């Protein structure tokens, strides 16, 4: 059977950037920057993206293309059975992330519908927190929208790598950039936006501290979809002639740029209307609608905003789903279409308790957290960091030579950053991630 491939390198870059650019960049990044001191957080985040981030994404794409397999198959082909566990952690993580990611994706679908019908109380901002709360704590509505979001995700993946994923990202990613630019221009030209712009762009170095660096590293990791084999999977569909280091620079650049634009969209608007930049997760669903309510043309900008958020979420969720789909198809010989349908249904089912945890099942607690939070916590603090440490140790110590020849296309390309890559993989990345993991656990 012939393995699928990306039809073009542009398509691959859009797909990988689509995986990276997601709710993490537009929903999480601005509120992290808002709570972690603005510009200094941005600076630390960018430095990590440009070093550890670039190196690890290259390593994952290279491993994928070298093995031409899903993460579990890739680690066992390249490193032997004992490394398989790294891939298994990745596949498990993809189930966990997609379960709660799809619930949040569903909220964005709900907010598009509400924006179009004008049923959000944008003119009575006091009611917005309650309205958001009503949505996420009720039973049927969020589960319905979670199902809609999962169905869209599975629909794209069902159509195949080139005909489904690539074809959709080639349209969706440029559209996302265009919508984002429109919104940023609107936000930074508001009266009073300047204060938000300087808060976000001017680093106040006194804000740099351990917890902040560890939040920035965690965010860089999450926002590049690292540590779980997403890029291994996408890299496995890449043709042998493609220049992996170059493609990696592009993906990191695009992901970092969207995070910057996300901050420039959210924070100036929040400052201009005198709202609290440290509002946390509610910033996107509560604060921004209030901002739109006050803004000229807010009705349209609000629809544009939630459509853009949905695109960002969808281009990430398809890559999350692509991981287990490839795994079950390749390791157990299940047809891709059957694998997609089954995995989609299982993840939909896993998302139901995550959604209910916001409301009626909120009292079911593990380690003092509800089901939604404990899933996100396990991923952020255990499975992603462990996956990242193992991947970089594997790249740096076990198959460095093989990987080096993959990154240079068997010596045909020059890759002058190889020494830096080597040290980042061998020492810097594992040590930094380990430090973050331990310091989070000691809290």
- As beta bridge partners, residue 369 has 366
Q: Considering only the stretches 22-30, 129-137, 341-349, 406-414, report the one whose residues sit in contact with ligand TRP under the rule CB under 6 A.
A: 22-30
User: Is there binding between residue 222 and ligand TRP (CB under 6 A)?
Assistant: yes
Nearer to ligand TRP, 223 or 236 (CB): 223
310-329: contacts with ligand TRP (CB under 6 A): 316, 319-320
User: Which one of residues 19, 153, 302, 370 is an interface residue with ligand TRP (CB under 6 A)?
Assistant: 19
Tell me: does residue 187 bind ligand TRP (CB under 6 A): no
Give the Cα separation of 278 and 311 in Å (integer).
Answer: 25
Least distance from C-beta 369 to ligand TRP, angstroms? 19
Q: Does the footprint of ligand TRP cover residue 22 (CB under 6 A)?
A: yes
**Where in 260-279 is the site for ligand TRP (CB under 6 A)?**
none
Residue 13 within binding range of ligand TRP, rule CB under 6 A:
no
- Nearest approach, Cβ of 315 to ligand TRP (angstroms)? 9
- Note whether 25 binds ligand TRP by CB under 6 A: yes
**Own/partner pairs, 348-354, CB within 8 angstroms, 24+ separation:** 348/102, 348/146, 348/147, 348/150, 350/95, 350/96, 350/99, 351/98, 351/99, 351/100, 351/102, 351/103, 351/143, 351/146, 351/150, 352/143, 352/146, 354/99, 354/100, 354/103
Here's the x/- map for ligand TRP, 74-103, by CB under 6 A: it reads as -----------------------x------
d(CA 153, CA 218): 25
Q: What is the smallest separation between the CB atom of 18 and ligand TRP, expressed in angstroms? A: 9
* 225 vs 302 by CB, closer to ligand TRP: 225
Q: How far is the CB of 248 from ligand TRP (least distance, A)?
A: 15
The residue (of 262 and 298) whose beta carbon lies closer to ligand TRP is 262
Q: Does 156 bind ligand TRP (CB under 6 A)?
A: no
CB 43, CB 276: distance < 8 Å: no
CA torsion, points 55, 56, 58, 64, in degrees to nearest 10? 160
Task: Provide, rounded to whole angstroms, the least separation between the CB of residue 219 and ligand TRP.
Answer: 9
Listed in sequence order, the residues at least 6 apart from 80 whose beta carbon sits closer than 8 Å to its beta carbon are: none
Minimum CB–partner distance for residue 234 and ligand TRP (Å): 9
Identify the residue among 216, 230, 244, 286 touching ligand TRP (CB under 6 A). Answer: 230
Q: Is 225 in the site for ligand TRP (CB under 6 A)?
A: yes
- Best CA proximity match to 95, nearest among 342, 334, 393, 390: 342
Quote the longest CA-to-CA distance of the chain: 63
Report the interhelical angle of 287-294 vs 298-332 (nearest 10°): 150
Cα 27 from Cα 10, distance rounded (Å): 26
Which is nearest to 100 in space by CA: 156, 142, 133? 142
Minimum Å gap between C-beta 320 and ligand TRP is: 4
DSSP annotation of 369: B
**DSSP 8-state assignment for residue 335:** -
Which residues form the interface with ligand TRP (CB under 6 A)?
A: 19-20, 22-25, 97, 222-223, 225, 228, 230, 316, 319-320
């Amino acid at each position: 059977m012939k393995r699928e491939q990306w039809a073009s390198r542009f398509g691959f870059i859009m797909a990988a950037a689509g995986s990276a650019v997601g709710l993490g960049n537009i929903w999480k990044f601005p509120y992290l920057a808002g709570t972690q001191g603005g510009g200094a957080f941005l600076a630390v985040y960018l430095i990590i993206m440009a070093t550890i981030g670039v190196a690890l994404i290259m390593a994952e794409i290279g491993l994928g293309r070298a093995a031409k397999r899903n993460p579990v198959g890739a680690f066992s082909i390249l490193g032997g059975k004992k490394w398989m566990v790294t891939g298994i952690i990745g596949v498990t993580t993809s189930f966990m992330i997609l379960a709660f990611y799809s619930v949040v994706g569903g909220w964005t679908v709900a907010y598009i519908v509400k924006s179009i019908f004008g049923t959000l109380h944008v003119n009575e901002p006091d009611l917005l927190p309650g309205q958001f709360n009503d949505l996420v704590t009720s039973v049927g509505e969020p589960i319905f929208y979670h199902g809609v979001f999962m169905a869209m995700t599975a629909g794209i993946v069902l159509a195949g790598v080139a005909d489904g994923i690539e074809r959709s990202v080639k349209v969706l990613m440029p559209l996302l950039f265009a919508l984002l630019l429109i919104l940023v221009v609107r936000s930074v030209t508001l009266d009073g936006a300047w204060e938000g712009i300087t808060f976000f762009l001017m680093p106040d170095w006194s804000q740099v501290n351990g917890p902040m660096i560890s939040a920035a590293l965690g965010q860089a990791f999450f926002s590049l979809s690292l540590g779980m084999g997403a890029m291994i999977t996408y890299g496995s569909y890449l043709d042998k002639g493609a220049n992996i280091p170059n493609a990696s620079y592009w993906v990191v650049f695009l992901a970092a740029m969207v995070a910057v634009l996300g901050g420039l969209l959210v924070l100036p608007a929040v400052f201009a209307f005198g709202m609290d930049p440290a509002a946390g997760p509610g910033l996107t669903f509560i604060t921004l609608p209030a901002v739109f309510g006050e803004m000229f043309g807010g009705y349209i900008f609000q629809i544009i905003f939630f459509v853009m958020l949905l695109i960002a979420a969808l281009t990430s969720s398809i890559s999350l789903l692509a991981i287990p789909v490839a795994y079950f198809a390749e390791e157990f010989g299940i047809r891709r279409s059957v694998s997609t349908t089954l995995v989609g249904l299982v993840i939909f089912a896993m998302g139901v308790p995550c959604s209910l945890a916001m409301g009626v099942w909120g009292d079911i607690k593990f380690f003092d957290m509800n089901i939604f939070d404990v899933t996100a916590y396990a991923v952020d603090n255990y499975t992603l960091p462990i996956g990242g440490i193992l991947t970089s140790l594997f790249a740096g110590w076990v198959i460095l030579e093989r990987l080096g020849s993959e990154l240079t296309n068997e010596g045909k390309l020059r890759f002058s950053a190889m020494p830096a890559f080597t040290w980042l993989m061998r020492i810097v990345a594992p040590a930094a991630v380990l430090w973050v993991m331990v310091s989070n656990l000691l809290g």
